[in-house]
Amino acid sequence: MPKLAKPLTDLQVRTAKPVVGKAHTLADGLGMYLEITAVGTKIWRMSYRQENGKQNRLTFGSYPEISLTEARAKRAEARKLLADGIDPAQFKREAKEAKAIAGTHTFETVAHAWLKKTSAMRASTTQEKVTNWLQKDVFPFIGHMPVSLIKPLNVLTTVQKMEARGSVESAHRVKQICGQVLRYAVATGLAERDVTADLKGALSVVPKTNYAAIIEPKQAGVLLRSIFGYTGHPYAVAALKLSPLLFVRPGELRSAEWKEIDLDAAEWRIPGEKMKMKIDHLVPLSTQAIEILRNVHAMTGHGKYVFPSIRTYERCMSENTINAALRSMGYDKETMTAHGFRAMARTIMDEVLGERVDLIEHQLAHAVKDPNGRAYNRTAHLPARRQMMQRWADYLDSLRKGADVISLKTNLV
């Protein structure tokens, strides 16, 4: 170890010459010195003693890449570690190893691990959509980065590219997905925190595109009375009356076929090819629904469709029929739509009637999975769903007849 000496100057460091045939050193003090090799290479080093008394050496780098000022800063860091009982050489090795490991845990590799780990929680179509979002809109920009080094601005810059092309809602969804990946990284010890928490309010507000719906019980009662007073075409009247009872998607209702409906068993089995999720769906039919369908059967039971086109029995009812009927009843598109009967059922059944959310979601034909991540089959919880659908039909009757109802809280409307 070099003897304590007067600190070096920039001039001494810059003009130091090699000694032929051997290395020599210039001390700067506090254990740090400049080693000059026989060929003229200048290397900053520091000698120190470990807690066990063993001599050790630390290398800071070569001059002029590392200046005298920078070398002294590194010396100060090393001395602080020593004061805390940490071997600076070991600390440096571990930091280097950690950096190498971090380089293998890129955002893309962690995202793929997250996708695989959580796949059972999503429908296959959703899994494919999330994967495509990541591959197209995220990986090209931050996929190569170590997940531990991702900063809020990295994520923001990425999703702003989507926002710039008009995909505002998708940008918000992708930001949420990035957050889920980062939280998985935190849980597995690969990152310190989910940095997307810092991006609240950084993206444009998502334009409201929800289907208009009446979700206040008293207003729903008024709507139901209007429906029962509607004097349009019998097919349209029947479809209108069934819409709140069954709350299926409008396309599923208008394309219903008699072969799918078992009036005696009080069931409507919709084949997967007609469903958004491409999975068979079973709709239990309340006594009120059965009564309406039997009346319709007397008119259209000899044909294929429950609600055929007014012009030809070879096609089903037009997609505009129910919405047109609502308009003729005085409900504009900002107030109520054919699709809005689903939101009406979802909200009131949950917030007013206290029905089980998983049963409601299953009846809406949303992706619902069991605790093992498997999709429920079409007959899952059928007795409970049958009872729920009858309670819902009875409740709608009470609304229509003007019974006292519980209004939704203001913050739920």
CATH number of the domain bearing residue 63 = 3.30.160.390
Please count the structural domains in the chain: 3
Q: How much is the average pLDDT of 110-118? A: 93
Q: Is 276 a catalytic residue?
A: yes
**Alpha-carbon gap, residue 74 to 61, rounded angstroms:** 10
Q: How much is the average pLDDT of 152-158? A: 96
Q: What tokens were used for 28? A: 């700067």
Flag whether 65 is in a domain: yes
Q: Note whether 301 and 383 are same-domain residues.
A: yes
Q: Note whether 313 and 347 are same-domain residues.
A: yes
Q: Note whether 185 and 83 are same-domain residues.
A: no
- Domain end position, chosen among 157, 173, 199: 199
Q: Note whether 60 and 193 are same-domain residues.
A: no
Cα 338 vs. chain centroid, distance in angstroms? 28
pLDDT reported for residue 75: 93
Flag whether 207 is in a domain: no
Given 122, 218, 366, 369, the catalytic residue: 366
Least confident of 6-15, 93-102, 210-219, 292-301: 93-102
Q: Note whether 177 and 291 are same-domain residues.
A: no
Q: Between these two residues, 377 and 79, which has the higher pLDDT value?
A: 79
- Domain end position, chosen among 168, 199, 230: 199
What digits encode the pLDDT tens for the residues 268-302? 999 988 887 778 899 999 999 999 999 999 999 99
User: What pLDDT band is residue 159 in, cutting at 50, 70 and 90?
Assistant: very high
Flag whether 26 is in a domain: yes
CA gyration radius, the chain: 35
Q: Between these two residues, 413 and 23, which has the higher pLDDT value?
A: 23
Q: Note whether 191 and 309 are same-domain residues.
A: no
Flag whether 346 is in a domain: yes
Q: Note whether 257 and 401 are same-domain residues.
A: yes
Q: Note whether 61 and 113 are same-domain residues.
A: no
**Alpha-carbon gap, residue 30 to 32, rounded angstroms:** 6
**H helix intervals, 134-233:** 139-142, 152-164, 168-187, 217-228
Q: Note whether 309 and 377 are same-domain residues.
A: yes
Backbone phi and psi for residue 36, each to the nearest 5 degrees, phi listed first = -115, 115
Flag whether 143 is in a domain: yes
Q: Is 249 a catalytic residue?
A: yes
**Alpha-carbon gap, residue 159 to 320, rounded angstroms:** 36
pLDDT beyond 70 at 109:
yes
pLDDT reported for residue 60: 92
**Alpha-carbon gap, residue 385 to 395, rounded angstroms:** 15
Flag whether 72 is in a domain: yes
Q: What tokens were used for 321? A: 């029929």
Given 254, 339, 362, 400, the catalytic residue: 339
Domain that holds residue 164: 107-199
Q: Note whether 324 and 373 are same-domain residues.
A: yes
CB atoms within 10 A of CB 395: 19
Contact present, 27 and 3 (Cβ < 8 Å): yes
pLDDT reported for residue 6: 84
Given 74, 75, 105, 342, the catalytic residue: 342
Q: Note whether 138 and 235 are same-domain residues.
A: no
Q: What is the 3-state secondary structure (H, E, C) of 305-343?
A: ECCECCCCCCCECCCCHHHHHHHHCCCCCCCCCCCHHHH
Q: Note whether 82 and 170 are same-domain residues.
A: no
Q: Is 376 a catalytic residue?
A: yes
pTM: 0.50
Instruction: Report the CATH number that the domain containing residue 117 is assigned in CATH.
Output: 1.10.150.130
Instruction: Report the CATH number that the domain containing residue 289 is assigned in CATH.
Output: 1.10.443.10
Given 276, 297, 315, 369, the catalytic residue: 276
Lookup result for tokens 């009346």: 295
Q: What tokens were used for 331? A: 């409900």
pLDDT reported for residue 123: 65
Given 249, 281, 385, 400, the catalytic residue: 249
Q: Between these two residues, 373 and 1, which has the higher pLDDT value?
A: 373
Pairs from 316-324 (Cβ < 8 Å, separation ≥ 24):
316/254, 316/255, 316/256, 317/235, 317/236, 317/239, 317/254, 318/254, 319/250, 319/251, 319/254, 321/235, 321/236, 321/239, 321/254, 322/236, 322/239, 322/240, 322/243, 322/250, 322/253, 322/254, 323/250, 324/236
- Domain end position, chosen among 33, 68, 97: 97
Flag whether 208 is in a domain: no
Flag whether 113 is in a domain: yes
Given 376, 381, 386, 391, the catalytic residue: 376
